[in-house]
Structure 1
Amino acid sequence: MIASLEIRSKTQDEAVSKAITELKVSLEDLNVQVLEQPKSGFLGFIGAKEGLYKFTVIEKELSELEIAQQFVEGILKNSKIEAVVKVTQDNNLIKVDIEGKDAACLIGRRGETLDSIQFLTGLALNKINKDSHMRVLVDIENYRSKREESLVRYANKVAREVAKTKKTKKLDYMNPYERRIVHSALQNDKYVTTYSEGTDPYRRLVIEYKR
């Protein structure tokens, strides 16, 4: 809904000042239309008439970064969580970093809630721009990097076990992001190979001894 306001005032400058205050925008965001010109009247006051001005807030097209930030901030507000949202872009990846200890509750078990927020943010971007090729990565208090380090350690540990026993090992269900981390960690391993089986959300990674 486009915000607009009509103001009667002696001068246009005075009307502009009132509009900026009431609509809480800057002058650059306002479109001004003079509906009635002011009249000074006889001797400057007899028969004087204020002018009538219409102000309309100019709608700006939000960038994908702004859309992502507003969407995530909306989730935090609805969850009554105080946190800072920082959005950056790295090529075709939009990174949304949420900073605030209270936001940790939105990570969920093994990042499941965080992944849901990430998925919904991506949908919000696609709804505005269906031709967008941007990907979204949402993180809270550097959870992703900590999780990645943990997965790499776990993958190497299991790989050594498979290399020793020569028995195939199936890992717990993982999302695509986590599977990529494990695949990448073991792609140059001399003794084991990795592949995925099953369908999401029950798709798991398999570590197998190289015959």
Structure 2
Amino acid sequence: MDYIEVSGKSLENAISEACKQLSVTADHLEYEIVDLGTSGFLGFNSKPTIIKAKVKEAKAATLDVQKDEEVVSEVSSDSLTSGETVSVIDADDLKKKVNDFLNDVFGAMKMDVTITVDYDEKDSCVNVDLEGDEMGILIGKRGQTLDSLQYLISLIVNKGKAGYIRVKVDTENYRARRQKTLENLARNLSFKVKRTKRPVSLEPMNPYERRIIHSALQNDRYVTTHSEGEEPFRRVVITLKK
């Protein structure tokens, strides 16, 4: 299968968009980084990340699977195929890197912020929660500053790693509140489309927010959604089903 070229505000966004376009999950995606882009300073003068992606080709199994599997705490080297490696994530090291970076950032900004960092091994995700008196500054317009911090942290934790580690940065439950706002917006605009029988274009959004709009209306019997344009001006369009 040929590669497709996909862009996003961050590597995570680009991978998510590629998964959506190819209708696969991340573990079935093969990609190459064309341009990591730049985040600018807190979202200004940023350039999108660009990747080439395709569906990963299925490989024949190289290990025998026993009928009655046993759960073991260690994997012997004899059970690995030649050249196979096991990637071990040092959660404490990850959390220290994130804490050190954010302390430097907030120190330079002269902001007093309480930082909580957790690593979810099951989802391979670093969760960062920020608390303080000036969180509106960190959120920025439509979460752009928060997204910029998330992008920078993603670069730090994924440097030199074989697998991809997701990063989520939140403060004052902003992500959940923003999701609820977007879901309400999607439903309100769908009513407008049904009433006027004319398509409606939303403002440009990042891939994460566009997915919220798509998901909110995916089961609507009368309207459908699709995305138009190029990053960072890509937007969702709501239209009547034919």
> Would the TM-score normalized by the shorter structure come out above 0.5?
yes
Equivalent AA in structure 2 for residue 189 of structure 1: D
In 1, Cα distance between the equivalents of 2:229 and 2:103? 35
- The equivalent position to 2:95 in structure 1, one of 36, 46, 65, is 65
2:209 aligned with 1:175? no
Question: Match for residue 137 of structure 2?
Answer: 105
1:109-188 → structure 2 map (5 Å cutoff): 109-127=141-159, 129-188=160-219
Larger Rg: 1
Equivalent AA in structure 1 for residue 176 of structure 2: S
Question: Match for residue 82 of structure 1?
Answer: 112
In 2, Cα distance between the equivalents of 1:115 and 1:154? 21
Q: Is the 8 A contact 2:91 2:119 kept in 1?
A: no
Higher helix share: 1
- Mark the CA change 1:75 to 1:210 in structure 2 (over 3 Å): closer, same or farther: same
Q: Is the 8 A contact 1:163 1:192 kept in 2?
A: yes
% same residue: 44
RMSD: 1.8
| TM-score, structure 1 as length reference | 0.67
In 1, Cα distance between the equivalents of 2:184 and 2:148? 25
1:186-197 → structure 2 map (5 Å cutoff): 186-197=217-228
Where relative contact order (Cα < 8 A, 6+ residues apart) is larger, the structure is 2
Q: CA deviation at 1:89?
A: 3.0
The count of corresponding residues between Structure 1 and Structure 2 is: 151
Higher strand share: 1
| TM-score, structure 2 as length reference | 0.58
Structure 2 unaligned segments of length 5 or more: list them.
1-89
In 1, Cα distance between the equivalents of 2:119 and 2:218? 28
In 2, Cα distance between the equivalents of 1:75 and 1:103? 14
Structure 1 unaligned segments of length 5 or more: list them.
1-59
Q: CA deviation at 1:123?
A: 0.8
